[in-house]
Structure 1
Amino acid sequence: MWTGLLLAGVVVTLGGLVQGLAGFGLALVAVPILALLDPSLLPVPILITAMTHSVLSLAREHRHVDWHGVGWAMIGRLPGTAIGVLLVDSLDQKRFSLLIGVVVLASVLLSITTWTPRPTKVSLVIAGLTSGSFGTAMSVGGPPVAMLYQNSPGALVRSTLAAYFVLGSITSVTGLAIAGQVHTPQLLTGLLLIPFLILGFLLSSPLRKLVDTNGIRTPVLVLSTITAVTLIVRSAIG
């Protein structure tokens, strides 16, 4: 148990560092690997650690938040949360892992295209709906909204996503709790992972102004692709 928790902590530290620099990436780094280590780590413990990271990020760069965009994304997040709760309640572990792999891989493929979306009202609502669905079901809720801000200044991206993730994580955990999907062991695991998350966040502080988002983009996408493909193959042959 403790060995698995330590491995999960190392992964969360790396994810916290990445998200502290780019504004997103905790889920892309951590979720596929944690799903391989122990599917019970998803989605509640990661939602808790992601919410903690978002609170810290928001406190650090709150002056740059695009609250207009956060509001429209949250309009989509609310019904998306209900869809995510249904996904958690209806999928077995094999299909759950397969779905995680497909979603992460799709996010990577979108990231490397020349598509340049903008954060309009319609696109934000759609992104919030998608983000709410997968963020609640498997903690991978960042990419749909992050893609819309990919050409914005770093501080705006990090702070806006942090504000959205704080509200979104609270919504997702509340929805899962109402549906009876939140249990004490999951909450304890989430709390035990928070120190690792804080370490990653602190490591990002002196680096975020020195490292351009593109500097960590390729490693994140490569790692996400490898783990996503592993999950898909494992689900297919398992």
Structure 2
Amino acid sequence: MDYGGDGLALLVVLLASLVQAWLGIGFALLGAPLLYLLDPAYVPGPVLLLGFVLAACMAVGNRQALAWRRPLPAILARLPGAWCGGLLLGLLPGAWLGLLLGACVLLASLSSYRWLALSCSPRNLAVAGFCSGLLGTATAVGGPPMALVYQTRKRLDGRDELAAFFLLTTPISLLLLFHQDRLPLEVLGASLRLAPAVLAGYALARRLEGRFERHSPRQALLLLSLLAAGGLLLNSLWRLCA
């Protein structure tokens, strides 16, 4: 892994952590495509590890019981989804993984404009949890399926429940990656180098809580995600055609 872009990587992780600590989602949606452009080795291992650190910070900072009851169907469904994602990751060459990641981010960004509204029912949560496990393990972007079923929930409720979901389920994906020898010590070192940016982004989000209109960061997230997805798709297509 090339550490020459550590400064940019730290900035990306800080911004992505700030967005997720505010909305409950956005770390991988924004961070994964940008970090992949800096170095494909950041995806999926380091992004998943850093997302787990952020989820732990949010759960501890909430100072309440872990909000796991509503997302329980999604938590249970993530296990088979993660297993399928591990199989998919083993079949995809690097450039194709970039295309899949870019397509996931692009579709997630477009669907977040509420063109597709789903209720937060146990059935929808189970389907979203399976898809989250599949995409999260293969590309580190496991949040968008959950975001679709949480669009109608209040921001704070959704943020706390999504934090519980990622805290309890991300280790499943990490264990599968470890089993496939996709979490070497080098990946752990890269994650530790970027961890201070996660803590800084979370702390900044706590400082800014209540100071901005509810939807303003969401629109910025979607715009940045669209730009990142577009850049990643072009980069991956260039690598395939070269």
Shared fold (TM-score greater than 0.5)? yes
The equivalent of 1:194 in structure 2 is 195
Q: What secondary structure, in the 3-state scheme, does the structure 1 residue paired with 2:69 have?
A: helix
The code of the aligned residue for 1:162 comes to: A
The equivalent of 1:43 in structure 2 is 44
User: Residue 21 of structure 1 contacts residue 213 of structure 1 at CA under 8 Å; is this kept in 2?
Assistant: no
The equivalent of 2:102 in structure 1 is 101
1:169 aligns with 2:170: yes
The equivalent of 2:141 in structure 1 is 140
Distance 1:73 1:23 in 2: 16
The equivalent of 2:207 in structure 1 is 206
Distance 1:101 1:178 in 2: 26
The code of the aligned residue for 1:219 comes to: A
Distance 2:148 2:63 in 1: 20
Distance 1:45 1:82 in 2: 18
Distance 1:87 1:191 in 2: 27
Structure 1 residue 119: Cα displacement: 1.2
User: Residue 62 of structure 1 contacts residue 159 of structure 1 at CA under 8 Å; is this kept in 2?
Assistant: no
Distance 1:65 1:55 in 2: 10
User: Residue 74 of structure 1 contacts residue 128 of structure 1 at CA under 8 Å; is this kept in 2?
Assistant: yes
Structure 1 residue 116: Cα displacement: 2.2
Q: What secondary structure, in the 3-state scheme, does the structure 2 residue paired with 1:211 have?
A: coil
Distance 2:33 2:115 in 1: 25
Distance 1:164 1:208 in 2: 22
Distance 1:109 1:217 in 2: 12
User: Residue 136 of structure 2 contacts residue 173 of structure 2 at CA under 8 Å; is this kept in 1?
Assistant: yes
User: Residue 116 of structure 2 contacts residue 148 of structure 2 at CA under 8 Å; is this kept in 1?
Assistant: no
Distance 2:142 2:213 in 1: 22
Structure 1 residue 216: Cα displacement: 0.7
User: Residue 61 of structure 1 contacts residue 155 of structure 1 at CA under 8 Å; is this kept in 2?
Assistant: no
Q: What secondary structure, in the 3-state scheme, does the structure 1 residue paired with 2:215 have?
A: helix
Distance 2:150 2:65 in 1: 13
The code of the aligned residue for 1:175 comes to: L
The equivalent of 2:8 in structure 1 is 7
Structure 1 residue 67: Cα displacement: 2.2
Between stretches 115-124 and 194-203, larger displacement belongs to: 115-124
Higher share of residues assigned helix: 1
Structure 2 unaligned regions, length at least 5: none
- The runs of 4+ residues in structure 1 deviating greater than 4 Å are none
Q: How many residues align?
A: 238
1:32 aligns with 2:36: no
Structure 1 unaligned regions, length at least 5: none
Aligned alpha-carbon RMSD (Å): 1.5
Q: 1:212 to 1:131 in 2, by over 3 A?
A: farther
State the percentage of identical aligned residues: 32
User: Residue 28 of structure 1 contacts residue 224 of structure 1 at CA under 8 Å; is this kept in 2?
Assistant: yes
The equivalent of 1:56 in structure 2 is 57
TM-score (normalised: structure 1): 0.95
Structure 1 residue 65: Cα displacement: 5.2
